[in-house]
Amino acid sequence: MIRAAIALIFAAQTAAAGGLMDRTVTFGALAYDDVEAPIYVGERHPAVVTDAIEYGLGPEGSQNGWDIVPAIIDIRDQQIIVTYPNTVDGTFPEAEFNGYVLDFLTDCVLFNGAGQDLENSTVELDSDAIFVDGSKLYVDMAGINYEPQTFIVVNVDVADCPLS
């Protein structure tokens, strides 16, 4: 009985180790037609992932006529949930990439992969809209309609950093 309890505790700790909970992340907006010459580079907002909502993005100041679409970002252990406040609706302007970037305050590559949770999302992103590049997760919202009832749910597979 005690061995079973220890095994369950160990399994729970192992599962939690591979998630986002308690990790320090940064989140922000980015838009570009040419990755080398971005149209908009939003502020990087650091946070420690907890059970609370991590970000309430709002306007940060116009760059090339672009600014932030207000959004609520809730990062969970294995998911990122994007919703919009009651005060906004519209369509994300088209660009090669216009969306969100999540990364870690470390050089360690942590994402094994990511994909949209279609059952819990209210709009479907293009198949190539969610991608990982090193330790950064990109969610492209170009051309997507948003309103207060919009939910974008992204499932993530995160690996632990190897110890040096």
pLDDT tens digit sequence for 49-66? 999 999 888 999 999 999
pLDDT score of 14: 35
pLDDT tens digit sequence for 11-37? 333 334 568 888 889 999 999 999 999
Based on the number of CB atoms within 10 Å of its own CB, is 114 exposed (0-12), middle (13-18) or buried (19 or more)? buried
pLDDT tens digit sequence for 87-101? 889 999 999 999 999
**pLDDT at 109 exceeding the cut of 60:** no
**pLDDT at 3 exceeding the cut of 90:** no
Q: What's the longest Cα–Cα distance across the chain?
A: 64
Which residue did the predictor score with more confidence, 119 or 4? 119
Angle value at C-alpha 129, between 134 and 141, nearest 5 degrees: 115
For residues 38 and 58, give the distance between their C-alpha atoms in angstroms, rounded to a whole number.
Answer: 19
